[in-house]
């Protein structure tokens, strides 16, 4: 009898631990996958029947064959690794600088008076215009590229952190003070958790911006990386190589953005948005 009960309890725990996909989520995934499949089939069919000039748009099978050949030689992993390294390095530096500055802007009027004009002017500016200056000040290798990514990611992170830290409900803060919490305890245990959804939104905005900046800087400066390989293929009229780089960027961007979404879901498991 005890064995039967233990077995039934174990099966119940296994059923509870097994993740289930909601029906509406399953429909969304099916529709999204169907759209991608249709576009890929239309691309391949249009190139095969000659409806599109193969030089202007090579077939998907040729592009995938190039990616496979480059993967066998190892060049794909080197290019993707360098692009990912530059993107994440600049993004993490921007997060390490932007989040504290955004919190300090919300907490200190002096800090806000100093940084608010800089953020207001720098946010809408095209950051890539500063690339020649960074090349002049630093070098033509990874340093200037990473600083360019940091510069591009910095502003949305600061703005999101500042907005999340200022627009907060006062009742949890007042309750914490009534219970005897100190200001640094309120900051770490009340203010930052309340601002975390907005901060993560800023990070989710900044990460694709950082990847775009990395690709553009690699195209403009050359060298190894997905952007550098694409511009080199374009100079030699290698359209298959150019589209191979585009497909690689699509997969890399999807993996990076999806990873950040999963991190958001993990960090906000306590938040009401996790129940949706």
* Segment 149-202, tens digit of pLDDT: 999 999 999 999 998 888 776 777 767 777 777 767 767 777 778 888 889 999
* Among candidate residues 189, 198, 190, 184, the one with its CA nearest the CA of residue 169: 190
DSSP structure string for 176-227: HHHTT--HHHHIIIIIHHHHHHHHHHHHHHHHHHHHHHHHHHHHHH-SSSHH
The full set of domain ranges for the chain reads 74-275
Phi-psi domain of 241 (left: phi exceeds 0; alpha: psi -120 through 50; beta: other): alpha
CA distance 254 to 272: 25
Cα–Cα distances (Å) from 130 to 141, 153, 213, 225, 266, in that order, read: 15, 14, 12, 21, 36
* Token couple for 265: 């879901």
Q: How confident is the model at residue 208 (pLDDT cuts 50, 70, 90)?
A: very high
> In this model, does residue 217 exceed pLDDT 50?
yes
- Backbone torsions φ then ψ of 259, nearest 5 degrees: -65, -40
CA distance 107 to 125: 26
**Hey, what long-range contacts does 54-62 have (CB within 8 A, 24 or more apart)?**
55/237, 55/239, 56/239, 57/239, 57/243, 58/239, 58/240, 58/243, 62/240
Q: What is the DSSP letter of 58?
A: -
Q: How confident is the model at residue 53 (pLDDT cuts 50, 70, 90)?
A: confident
CA distance 86 to 109: 34
* Token couple for 6: 């233990």
- For residue 14, the model assigns a pLDDT of 45
* Token couple for 29: 């995934």
Q: 74-275 is classed in which CATH architecture?
A: Orthogonal Bundle (1.10)
* Among candidate residues 57, 56, 76, the one with its CA nearest the CA of residue 66: 76
* Among candidate residues 35, 57, 28, the one with its CA nearest the CA of residue 247: 57
| 3-class secondary structure, 9 | helix
**Total-model pTM:** 0.81
The mean pLDDT value for 270-275 works out to 70
CA distance 22 to 139: 51
Q: How confident is the model at residue 84 (pLDDT cuts 50, 70, 90)?
A: very high
Percent of the chain with pLDDT over 90: 26
> In this model, does residue 19 exceed pLDDT 60?
no
* Token couple for 142: 């990874």
The model's pLDDT over 92-128, given as tens digits with 9 standing for 90+, comes to 999 999 999 999 988 888 888 998 888 888 888 888 8
Runs of H (alpha helix) within the chain = 2-17, 23-48, 60-73, 75-107, 109-122, 131-137, 142-166, 170-178, 183-186, 192-221, 226-235, 239-267
Contact 259, 77 (CB under 8 A): no
> In this model, does residue 263 exceed pLDDT 50?
yes
- For residue 276, the model assigns a pLDDT of 60
**How many Cβ atoms are within 10 Å of 249's Cβ, its own excluded?**
19
Contact 255, 70 (CB under 8 A): no
């Amino acid at each position: 009898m005890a064995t039967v009960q233990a077995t039934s309890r174990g099966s119940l725990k296994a059923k509870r631990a097994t993740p289930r996909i909601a029906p509406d989520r399953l429909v969304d995934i099916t529709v999204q996958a169907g759209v991608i499949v249709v576009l890929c089939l239309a691309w391949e069919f249009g190139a095969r029947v000659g409806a599109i000039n193969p030089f202007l748009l090579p077939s998907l099978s040729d592009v995938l064959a190039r990616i496979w050949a480059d993967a066998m030689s190892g060049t794909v992993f080197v290019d993707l690794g360098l692009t990912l390294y530059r993107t994440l390095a600049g993004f993490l530096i921007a997060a390490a600088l932007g989040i504290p500055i955004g919190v300090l802007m919300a907490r200190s009027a002096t800090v806000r008076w100093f940084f608010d004009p800089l953020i207001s002017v720098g946010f809408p500016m095209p950051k890539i215009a500063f690339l020649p200056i960074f090349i002049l000040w630093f070098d033509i290798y990874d340093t200037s590229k990473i600083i360019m990514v940091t510069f591009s990611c910095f502003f949305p992170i600061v703005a999101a952190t500042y907005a999340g830290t200022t627009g907060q409900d006062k009742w949890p803060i007042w309750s914490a003070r009534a219970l005897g919490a100190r200001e640094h305890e309120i900051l770490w245990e009340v203010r930052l958790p309340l601002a975390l959804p907005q901060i993560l939104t800023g990070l989710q905005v900044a990460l694709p911006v950082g990847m775009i900046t990395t690709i553009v800087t690699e195209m403009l400066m050359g060298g190894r990386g997905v952007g550098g390989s694409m511009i080199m293929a374009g100079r030699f009229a290698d359209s298959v190589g150019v589209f191979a780089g585009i497909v690689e960027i699509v997969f890399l961007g999807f993996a990076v953005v999806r990873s950040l979404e999963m991190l958001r879901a993990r960090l906000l498991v306590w938040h009401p948005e996790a129940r949706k």
